[in-house]
Amino acid sequence: MNIASLIDHSVLKPTSTVQDVKDGAAIALKYQTAAYCIRPSDVPLAAKLLAASEVKVCTVIGFPHGTTDTTSKAFEAAEAVRNGAHEVDMVINIGWMLSGDLVAVEDDIRQVVNAARSVNDTTCVKVILETAFLSREQIVKGCELSEAAGADFVKTSTGFAPEGATVENIALMRATVGDRLGVKASGGIRTLEQVEALIAAGASRVGLSGTAEILN
């Protein structure tokens, strides 16, 4: 298995500098990761640095809290794709999910999907559920709403919650979406053993900030 081909290398800390973004792109290129995930303001630079490669440019929408209003999320997604993003990872409105407003959650996802694909219909959309705050039933429902709204992936975490990806939640998400959607594990993954266990449980992508250390 080529583990690097399943990794989204990430530089998402608010304190990351321009040099950090450049260094992250170099790591993504060195290991030929599936994607390089950066903040929306870094998309033009990442797109330039990765233009001659197969590494996809990925960014985050409504990050990290998910509470940006839907119109703003949709605009942010479309603008990111215009700037060179191939993939967008959006955060659901966690408060709406916890409140049981499932219609609003699904509409929020659908509008981001539609906005991103209005610019480029091949855009891959991943939906961050922030599983640390959800029950098993809510994780299942979040997966179902993401699929109904047209997303390509469901994803565990932003990396800013108390807990990140777990084998249990990845297995639950994979069981819910079958082979119809991808499943991305992210948040708190720091060892090769964790990566391998999450892939074995059903993850088809793994978000990492410590890519070089783990692969080395």
> The tokens 């990050």 sit on which residue?
63
101 noted as active-site residue: no
Choosing from 56, 73, 126, 155, the catalytic residue is 155
Residue ranges of alpha helices (H) inside 16-123 are 18-31, 43-49, 70-82, 94-99, 102-119
65 half-sphere exposure, CB direction, 13 A CA radius: 4
> The tokens 């903040």 sit on which residue?
39
Name the nearest CA neighbour of 186 among 32, 9, 21, 38: 9
Give the distance from CA 94 to its chain's centroid: 15
126 noted as active-site residue: no
155 noted as active-site residue: yes
Residue 134 CA to residue 100 CA, distance in Å, equals 11
Choosing from 42, 89, 108, 152, the catalytic residue is 89
Structure-token pair, residue 183: 């499943």
Cβ neighbourhood burial of 142 (10 Å; 0-12, 13-18, 19+)? buried
Residue 57 CA to residue 36 CA, distance in Å, equals 5
Sequence-separated (6 or more) residues with CB below 8 Å from residue 69: none
Positions marked active-site: 89, 155, 184
